[in-house]
Amino acid sequence: RKAVVKITTGSQALDELLGGGIETLQITEAFGEFRSGKTQLAHTLCVSTQLPTSMKGGNGKVAYIDTEGTFRPDRIVPIAERFGMDPGAVLDNVMMLLSHSILLVCMQRWLKNLSDYWWVFLELTIPNKLNLYFFQKLAQMLSRLTKIAEEFNVAVYMTNQVIADPAGGVFISDPKKPAGGHVLAHAATVRLMFRKGKGEQRVCKVFDAPNLPESEAIFQITGGGIAD
Ligand code: ADP
Protein backbone atom coordinates (compact mmCIF):
# COMPACT_ATOMS: atom_id res chain seq x y z
CA ARG A 1 0.00 0.00 0.00
CA LYS A 2 1.26 3.48 -0.89
CA ALA A 3 2.10 5.93 1.89
CA VAL A 4 -0.50 8.65 2.25
CA VAL A 5 0.76 12.19 1.69
CA LYS A 6 -0.96 14.98 3.61
CA ILE A 7 -0.89 18.47 2.24
CA THR A 8 -1.42 21.57 4.31
CA THR A 9 -4.50 23.73 3.85
CA GLY A 10 -2.62 26.77 5.16
CA SER A 11 -4.57 26.68 8.44
CA GLN A 12 -3.22 24.70 11.36
CA ALA A 13 -6.70 24.30 12.83
CA LEU A 14 -8.04 22.93 9.55
CA ASP A 15 -5.05 20.62 9.12
CA GLU A 16 -5.61 19.23 12.61
CA LEU A 17 -9.29 18.68 11.86
CA LEU A 18 -8.27 16.68 8.78
CA GLY A 19 -5.68 14.64 10.63
CA GLY A 20 -2.79 16.48 8.98
CA GLY A 21 -4.14 17.91 5.74
CA ILE A 22 -5.78 16.98 2.45
CA GLU A 23 -4.81 13.37 1.77
CA THR A 24 -3.71 11.51 -1.32
CA LEU A 25 -5.36 8.25 -2.44
CA GLN A 26 -8.86 9.64 -2.01
CA ILE A 27 -11.34 12.29 -3.03
CA THR A 28 -12.10 15.11 -0.61
CA GLU A 29 -15.27 17.05 -1.31
CA ALA A 30 -16.00 20.53 0.01
CA PHE A 31 -19.60 21.62 -0.14
CA GLY A 32 -21.44 24.51 1.38
CA GLU A 33 -22.78 27.97 0.85
CA PHE A 34 -21.54 30.57 -1.62
CA ARG A 35 -18.41 32.48 -0.46
CA SER A 36 -17.64 30.03 2.31
CA GLY A 37 -14.05 29.48 1.14
CA LYS A 38 -14.18 26.33 -1.00
CA THR A 39 -12.51 27.98 -3.99
CA GLN A 40 -10.01 29.90 -1.85
CA LEU A 41 -8.93 26.58 -0.36
CA ALA A 42 -8.46 25.21 -3.89
CA HIS A 43 -6.23 28.20 -4.73
CA THR A 44 -4.22 27.71 -1.54
CA LEU A 45 -3.78 24.01 -2.33
CA CYS A 46 -2.49 24.93 -5.80
CA VAL A 47 0.47 26.44 -3.98
CA SER A 48 0.90 24.26 -0.89
CA THR A 49 0.84 21.15 -3.08
CA GLN A 50 4.12 22.34 -4.57
CA LEU A 51 5.86 22.82 -1.23
CA PRO A 52 8.45 20.23 -0.21
CA THR A 53 7.11 17.50 2.05
CA SER A 54 9.23 18.93 4.86
CA MET A 55 6.93 21.98 4.71
CA LYS A 56 3.74 19.90 4.69
CA GLY A 57 3.52 20.01 0.92
CA GLY A 58 3.34 17.33 -1.74
CA ASN A 59 6.32 18.31 -3.90
CA GLY A 60 3.91 17.95 -6.81
CA LYS A 61 2.13 19.60 -9.69
CA VAL A 62 -1.51 20.57 -9.94
CA ALA A 63 -4.28 20.08 -12.44
CA TYR A 64 -7.18 22.45 -11.83
CA ILE A 65 -10.38 21.48 -13.57
CA ASP A 66 -12.52 24.55 -13.64
CA THR A 67 -16.12 24.20 -14.79
CA GLU A 68 -17.23 27.51 -13.29
CA GLY A 69 -14.53 29.92 -14.44
CA THR A 70 -13.48 30.58 -10.84
CA PHE A 71 -9.72 30.05 -11.18
CA ARG A 72 -7.83 33.34 -10.66
CA PRO A 73 -4.14 33.18 -11.56
CA ASP A 74 -3.64 36.57 -9.86
CA ARG A 75 -4.77 35.03 -6.54
CA ILE A 76 -1.91 32.53 -6.80
CA VAL A 77 0.71 35.30 -6.67
CA PRO A 78 0.21 36.51 -3.05
CA ILE A 79 -0.41 32.95 -1.87
CA ALA A 80 2.89 31.80 -3.40
CA GLU A 81 4.67 34.79 -1.81
CA ARG A 82 3.20 33.95 1.57
CA PHE A 83 4.73 30.47 1.34
CA GLY A 84 8.04 31.93 0.11
CA MET A 85 7.72 30.52 -3.39
CA ASP A 86 8.30 32.08 -6.79
CA PRO A 87 4.82 32.89 -8.20
CA GLY A 88 5.86 32.35 -11.83
CA ALA A 89 7.29 28.93 -11.12
CA VAL A 90 4.22 28.01 -9.08
CA LEU A 91 1.87 29.04 -11.92
CA ASP A 92 3.91 27.02 -14.41
CA ASN A 93 3.09 23.93 -12.37
CA VAL A 94 -0.67 24.49 -12.42
CA MET A 95 -2.27 22.94 -15.46
CA MET A 96 -5.60 24.59 -16.11
CA LEU A 97 -8.42 22.65 -17.63
CA LEU A 98 -11.26 25.02 -18.34
CA SER A 99 -14.39 23.15 -19.15
CA HIS A 100 -18.05 23.90 -19.24
CA SER A 101 -19.98 21.16 -17.57
CA ILE A 102 -21.55 20.19 -20.87
CA LEU A 103 -18.05 19.39 -22.09
CA LEU A 104 -17.34 16.86 -19.37
CA VAL A 105 -16.97 14.31 -22.09
CA CYS A 106 -13.82 16.14 -23.24
CA MET A 107 -12.52 16.22 -19.68
CA GLN A 108 -12.38 12.48 -19.72
CA ARG A 109 -9.86 12.66 -22.50
CA TRP A 110 -7.78 15.13 -20.48
CA LEU A 111 -7.99 12.90 -17.46
CA LYS A 112 -5.97 10.26 -19.25
CA ASN A 113 -3.01 12.63 -19.11
CA LEU A 114 -3.36 13.56 -15.48
CA SER A 115 -1.32 10.77 -14.01
CA ASP A 116 1.82 12.91 -14.11
CA TYR A 117 0.20 15.31 -11.71
CA TRP A 118 0.11 14.90 -8.02
CA TRP A 119 -3.02 16.74 -7.16
CA VAL A 120 -6.23 17.34 -8.93
CA PHE A 121 -8.69 20.04 -8.04
CA LEU A 122 -12.12 19.86 -9.43
CA GLU A 123 -14.33 22.90 -9.24
CA LEU A 124 -17.66 21.57 -10.23
CA THR A 125 -21.15 22.92 -9.93
CA ILE A 126 -23.72 20.36 -10.80
CA PRO A 127 -27.23 21.36 -11.83
CA ASN A 128 -29.85 19.83 -9.60
CA LYS A 129 -31.54 18.08 -12.47
CA LEU A 130 -29.22 16.09 -14.64
CA ASN A 131 -30.09 14.38 -17.84
CA LEU A 132 -29.06 10.76 -18.01
CA TYR A 133 -26.19 11.38 -20.40
CA PHE A 134 -24.59 14.01 -18.18
CA PHE A 135 -25.18 11.87 -15.12
CA GLN A 136 -23.40 8.92 -16.68
CA LYS A 137 -20.48 11.07 -17.86
CA LEU A 138 -20.06 12.58 -14.42
CA ALA A 139 -20.09 9.16 -12.76
CA GLN A 140 -17.50 7.89 -15.24
CA MET A 141 -15.27 10.89 -14.67
CA LEU A 142 -15.41 10.51 -10.87
CA SER A 143 -14.67 6.83 -11.12
CA ARG A 144 -11.66 7.65 -13.27
CA LEU A 145 -10.48 10.26 -10.74
CA THR A 146 -10.77 7.70 -7.93
CA LYS A 147 -8.59 5.29 -9.88
CA ILE A 148 -6.01 8.01 -10.58
CA ALA A 149 -5.92 8.92 -6.88
CA GLU A 150 -5.28 5.33 -5.89
CA GLU A 151 -2.89 4.38 -8.65
CA PHE A 152 -0.69 7.48 -8.67
CA ASN A 153 -0.98 8.57 -5.04
CA VAL A 154 -2.81 11.74 -6.07
CA ALA A 155 -5.07 13.89 -3.92
CA VAL A 156 -8.36 14.97 -5.44
CA TYR A 157 -10.13 17.96 -3.95
CA MET A 158 -13.45 18.93 -5.43
CA THR A 159 -15.92 21.62 -4.60
CA ASN A 160 -19.65 21.27 -4.81
CA GLN A 161 -21.80 24.33 -4.52
CA VAL A 162 -25.06 23.76 -2.71
CA ILE A 163 -27.83 26.26 -2.36
CA ALA A 164 -28.30 27.88 1.03
CA ASP A 165 -31.92 28.16 2.11
CA PRO A 166 -33.35 31.46 3.44
CA ALA A 167 -33.41 30.09 7.01
CA GLY A 168 -29.66 29.71 6.90
CA GLY A 169 -29.61 25.95 6.48
CA VAL A 170 -28.17 24.09 3.60
CA PHE A 171 -29.96 21.98 1.03
CA ILE A 172 -27.61 19.11 0.44
CA SER A 173 -29.92 17.75 -2.15
CA ASP A 174 -33.42 16.51 -2.45
CA PRO A 175 -33.21 12.72 -2.04
CA LYS A 176 -36.07 12.30 -4.49
CA LYS A 177 -34.25 14.05 -7.30
CA PRO A 178 -31.43 12.48 -9.27
CA ALA A 179 -29.15 15.35 -8.31
CA GLY A 180 -25.50 15.57 -9.26
CA GLY A 181 -24.77 16.10 -5.59
CA HIS A 182 -25.48 12.44 -5.03
CA VAL A 183 -22.94 11.36 -7.60
CA LEU A 184 -20.31 13.57 -5.99
CA ALA A 185 -21.18 12.48 -2.46
CA HIS A 186 -20.89 8.85 -3.45
CA ALA A 187 -17.45 9.35 -5.04
CA ALA A 188 -15.93 11.32 -2.16
CA THR A 189 -14.28 9.60 0.80
CA VAL A 190 -14.11 12.72 2.94
CA ARG A 191 -16.96 15.23 2.83
CA LEU A 192 -16.45 18.65 4.37
CA MET A 193 -19.19 21.20 4.94
CA PHE A 194 -18.13 24.85 4.76
CA ARG A 195 -20.07 27.79 6.10
CA LYS A 196 -19.61 31.40 7.09
CA GLY A 197 -18.93 32.16 10.73
CA LYS A 198 -18.71 35.45 12.62
CA GLY A 199 -17.24 38.34 10.66
CA GLU A 200 -14.51 37.10 8.37
CA GLN A 201 -14.40 33.70 10.01
CA ARG A 202 -15.22 30.53 8.13
CA VAL A 203 -16.14 27.16 9.60
CA CYS A 204 -15.35 23.70 8.24
CA LYS A 205 -17.19 20.70 9.63
CA VAL A 206 -16.33 17.09 8.92
CA PHE A 207 -19.62 15.91 7.49
CA ASP A 208 -18.70 12.38 6.53
CA ALA A 209 -15.30 10.67 6.80
CA PRO A 210 -14.40 7.13 7.83
CA ASN A 211 -11.43 8.09 10.02
CA LEU A 212 -12.22 11.56 11.30
CA PRO A 213 -14.39 12.72 14.20
CA GLU A 214 -17.34 14.96 13.28
CA SER A 215 -15.76 18.13 14.62
CA GLU A 216 -15.35 21.65 13.32
CA ALA A 217 -12.47 24.03 12.72
CA ILE A 218 -12.48 27.80 12.33
CA PHE A 219 -10.26 29.38 9.68
CA GLN A 220 -9.84 32.69 7.86
CA ILE A 221 -9.53 33.72 4.25
CA THR A 222 -6.62 36.12 3.86
CA GLY A 223 -4.76 37.71 0.98
CA GLY A 224 -2.21 34.93 1.35
CA GLY A 225 -4.88 32.23 1.15
CA ILE A 226 -6.43 30.05 3.86
CA ALA A 227 -4.96 30.73 7.31
CA ASP A 228 -5.82 30.58 11.01
P1 ADP B 1 -16.89 29.58 -2.43
O2 ADP B 1 -17.15 28.76 -1.21
O3 ADP B 1 -18.14 30.12 -3.04
O4 ADP B 1 -15.99 28.88 -3.41
P5 ADP B 1 -14.69 31.40 -2.14
O6 ADP B 1 -13.68 30.39 -1.83
O7 ADP B 1 -14.67 32.02 -3.49
O8 ADP B 1 -16.15 30.86 -1.85
O9 ADP B 1 -14.56 32.51 -1.01
C10 ADP B 1 -15.01 33.79 -1.23
C11 ADP B 1 -14.58 34.63 -0.05
O12 ADP B 1 -13.17 34.77 -0.06
C13 ADP B 1 -15.19 36.00 -0.07
O14 ADP B 1 -15.86 36.20 1.15
C15 ADP B 1 -13.99 36.93 -0.17
O16 ADP B 1 -14.17 38.02 0.68
C17 ADP B 1 -12.83 36.09 0.30
N18 ADP B 1 -11.62 36.48 -0.40
C19 ADP B 1 -11.35 36.33 -1.70
N20 ADP B 1 -10.17 36.86 -2.02
C21 ADP B 1 -9.67 37.39 -0.87
C22 ADP B 1 -8.49 38.10 -0.52
N23 ADP B 1 -7.57 38.41 -1.44
N24 ADP B 1 -8.33 38.47 0.76
C25 ADP B 1 -9.23 38.17 1.68
N26 ADP B 1 -10.38 37.52 1.42
C27 ADP B 1 -10.60 37.14 0.17
Looking at every residue in the chain, the average pLDDT score rounds to: 83
- ipTM of this complex prediction, to 2 decimal places: 0.98
Maximum C-alpha span of the chain: 49
In the three-class reduction of DSSP (H, G, I as helix; E, B as strand; rest coil), residue 190 is classed as strand
Q: Which ligand 1 atom sits nearest the alpha carbon of residue 200? A: 14
Listed residue (165, 72, 65) closest to 125, CA to CA: 65
User: What's the 101 CA to ligand 1 centre distance in angstroms?
Assistant: 23
Does 58 score more than 50 pLDDT? Answer: yes
Of 74-88, 90-104, 142-156, the one with minimum mean pLDDT is 90-104
Q: Which of 35, 68, 161, 220 to mutate to test the pocket of ligand 1 (most atoms within 8 A of CB)?
A: 35
Whole-angstrom distance, CA of residue 142 vs CA of residue 136:
10
Which neighbouring-strand residues pair with 196? 202
Q: Which ligand 1 atom sits nearest the alpha carbon of residue 36? A: 2
Taking the CB of residue 95, how many other CB atoms lie within 10 A of it? 16
pTM of the predicted protein model: 0.89
Residue nearest to atom 14 of ligand 1 (CA): 35
C-alpha distance from residue 124 to each of 59, 141, 159, 196, 214 (Å): 25, 12, 6, 20, 24
Report the DSSP pairing between strands 119-124 and 94-98: unpaired
What's the mean pLDDT in 146-162?
Answer: 85
Does 175 score more than 90 pLDDT? Answer: no
What's the mean pLDDT in 32-50?
Answer: 93
The pLDDT score that the predictor gives to residue 170 is 45
Of 118-127, 181-190, 209-218, the one with minimum mean pLDDT is 118-127
Please work out whether the CB of residue 57 comes within 6 Å of at least one atom of ligand 1. Answer: no
User: What's the 39 CA to ligand 1 centre distance in angstroms?
Assistant: 7
What's the mean pLDDT in 143-152?
Answer: 87
pLDDT digits over 77-88, tens only?
999 999 999 999
Taking the CB of residue 131, how many other CB atoms lie within 10 A of it? 10
